[in-house]
Amino acid sequence: MSAALWLSACQTGNEPLVTAIALDQNQGLEQNIASLSQTVTANPSDPEAYNVRGTAYGRSGQYALAIQDFTKAIQLDPNFYQAYANRALIYRQTGERLKAVEDYNRAIQINPNYASAYIGRGNIYRLAGRNREALSDFQSAIDLKTTDPRAYHNRGLLYQLDGQHAQAIEDFSKAISLQSTAAEPYSGRGVSYLALGDVENAAADFAAALKLDKTKAEYWTNQAILLERQGDRQKAYRSYARAAQLDPNYAPAKEGMSRTRG
């Protein structure tokens, strides 16, 4: 059961596109991209115009066009560290992690105080199992007084992996205080509460995660693990089954169904 618990806790790695300029949430829609293209046409030497359109392309999943725009922005302004960080995230999303790290390195070289680049690079290191380097990057962002919840959430995941659950709970709580509508820190904090035997707080956090996002197999699995530990095998099975329905290849859910079936 503990193996399933850890697997379901450490899956999250998604992050929103890092932007230098605030964008409307619908900016990735075609009509907004068309408007941004008009801006680029009217200002062909403005790197920020390409950066904004590149971000919109990235949000709409048009990654090749996003990379093209960020590259153009960098060509126009070789010190445009935000464009490097934006392109790095696209590279990460397309599986080109080495290129992503190179871009984050360049962004940090240009601006050593750019917390978002440390967070982005740290997350790549974390997903690659380079935990010491990841921890260093998240700490750098936190030392820079970042208000980005990802720095605390991801550091919390590393503490959790190392069995430092009190520190993990503190970091997850900080992430929640910075963005209370994100499900991931609730799920992560619930896992650490459960590891410390605090069933009541674990149950509250798993419920909060599911209230915010019912589409993640790991959240249903975490709830099921708690229910199974409490001896409610019937409810646990239903939660495992829901997780397996969402992700038929999710091993902790399938294993949990086998344990609680019947």
Sorted by where each begins, the domain ranges of the chain are 214-261
Residue 257, number of CB atoms within 10 A of its CB: 18
Q: Is residue 73 within 8 Å of residue 47, measured between CB atoms?
A: yes
pLDDT at 1: 44
- Supply the pTM of this predicted model: 0.86
> Do you know the residue count of the chain?
262
Q: Is residue 50 within 8 Å of residue 66, measured between CB atoms?
A: no
Burial class (CB in 10 A: 0-12, 13-18, 19+), 102: middle
pLDDT at 26: 54
Burial class (CB in 10 A: 0-12, 13-18, 19+), 255: middle
Q: Is residue 77 within 8 Å of residue 43, measured between CB atoms?
A: no
pLDDT at 29: 67
pLDDT at 28: 53
Residue 200, number of CB atoms within 10 A of its CB: 8
- Cβ partners under 8 Å of residue 184, min gap 6: 12, 153, 175, 209
pLDDT in tens, the chain (262 residues): 443 444 444 444 444 434 443 344 455 567 789 999 999 999 999 999 999 999 999 989 999 999 999 999 999 999 999 999 999 999 999 999 999 999 999 999 999 999 999 999 999 999 999 999 999 999 999 999 999 999 999 999 999 999 999 999 999 999 999 999 999 999 999 999 999 999 999 999 999 999 999 999 999 999 999 999 999 999 999 999 999 999 999 999 999 999 999 7
Q: Show the tokens assigned to 53.
A: 């359109």
- Cβ partners under 8 Å of residue 153, min gap 6: 12, 171, 172, 175, 182, 184, 185, 188
pLDDT at 262: 75
